[in-house]
């Protein structure tokens, strides 16, 4: 069996296929190994544990779907308000790329510590983006009085909740444009003042 640099990616691709096809809590190191054509020991060697594999998988999904370059665009030079607008424009386009996987992880993470650890890792990364956006608002003095930056970033982060996206886009039937415009307006109204 080839254990070269492509082995890690082949294992991640197999794990993503497993996650797309079965219940999230059914993902096992052995099942991923079989899917990838590697031994279970090879999977453990690359990821250390099931939690390590799932955390790497969710981070890889972000990488494959271009989250890093999108976040760079969100945080490009501009005002805090512009960053908020760009944040919701990215999010409304980005969530559909992983919402099927997110549904499975959200449904199973209460009972599965490995899935919870993997999801929490991605949510910490999203929270860091929210902190950077709020810092931009604070730097240009548009952060509303009474909102410490820590609380403001938590509020913004909550508005990016995947279950909220599902509820508004799928259950309430909001279009992409409605979601982007209304959620950005809500965030701006709650967090910022006119300069």
How many structural domains does the chain have? 2
Question: What would the pLDDT profile of 78-133 be if each residue is shown by its tens digit?
Answer: 999 999 999 999 999 999 999 988 998 999 999 999 999 999 999 999 999 999 99
Q: What's 146's DSSP letter?
A: T
Identify whether residues 31 and 103 lie together within a single domain. no
In a domain, 185, yes or no: yes
In a domain, 53, yes or no: no
Dihedral sign for Cα atoms in the order 132, 158, 156, 71: positive
Identify whether residues 112 and 44 lie together within a single domain. no
Task: Determine contact, residues 190/91, Cβ cutoff 8 Å.
Answer: no
Question: What would the pLDDT profile of 10-60 be if each residue is shown by its tens digit?
Answer: 999 999 999 888 888 888 999 999 999 999 999 999 999 999 999 999 999
In a domain, 129, yes or no: yes
In a domain, 40, yes or no: yes
In a domain, 58, yes or no: no
In a domain, 56, yes or no: no
> For residues 57 and 53, what is the distance between their CA atoms, to the nearest angstrom?
6
Question: What would the pLDDT profile of 49-72 be if each residue is shown by its tens digit?
Answer: 999 999 999 999 999 999 999 999
Identify whether residues 73 and 105 lie together within a single domain. yes
In a domain, 135, yes or no: yes
Task: Determine contact, residues 55/49, Cβ cutoff 8 Å.
Answer: no
In a domain, 162, yes or no: yes
Task: Determine contact, residues 157/130, Cβ cutoff 8 Å.
Answer: yes
> For residues 157 and 84, what is the distance between their CA atoms, to the nearest angstrom?
11
Domain CATH number, residue 69: 1.10.357
Identify whether residues 71 and 39 lie together within a single domain. no
Orientation angle between helical segments 29-36 and 5-21, nearest 10 degrees = 120
Domain CATH number, residue 39: 1.10.10.60
Q: Which domain holds residue 133?
A: 63-191
Q: What is the value of pTM for the model shown?
A: 0.88
pLDDT of residue 1: 47
Identify whether residues 67 and 132 lie together within a single domain. yes
> For residues 158 and 152, what is the distance between their CA atoms, to the nearest angstrom?
10
> For residues 190 and 152, what is the distance between their CA atoms, to the nearest angstrom?
9
Backbone φ/ψ region at 193: left (φ over 0), alpha (ψ -120 to 50), beta: beta
């Amino acid at each position: 069996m080839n254990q070269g640099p492509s082995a890690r990616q082949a294992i991640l691709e197999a794990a993503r296929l497993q996650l797309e096809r079965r219940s999230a809590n059914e993902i096992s190191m052995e099942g991923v190994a079989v899917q990838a054509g590697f031994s279970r020991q090879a999977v453990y060697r690359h990821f250390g544990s099931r939690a390590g594999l799932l955390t790497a998988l969710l981070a890889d999904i972000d990488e494959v779907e271009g989250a890093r370059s999108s976040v760079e665009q969100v945080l490009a030079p501009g005002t805090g308000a512009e960053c908020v607008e760009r944040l919701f424009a990215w999010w409304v386009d980005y969530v559909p790329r992983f919402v099927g996987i997110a549904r499975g992880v959200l449904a199973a993470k209460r009972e599965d510590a490995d899935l919870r650890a993997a999801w929490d890792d991605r949510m910490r990364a999203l929270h860091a983006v929210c902190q950077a956006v709020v810092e931009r608002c604070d730097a240009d003095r548009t952060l509303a009085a009474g909102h410490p930056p820590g609380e403001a970033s938590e509020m913004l982060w909550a508005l990016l909740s995947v279950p909220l996206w599902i509820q508004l886009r799928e259950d309430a039937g909001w279009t992409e444009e409605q979601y982007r415009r209304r959620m950005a307006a809500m965030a701006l109204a709650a967090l910022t003042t006119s300069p």
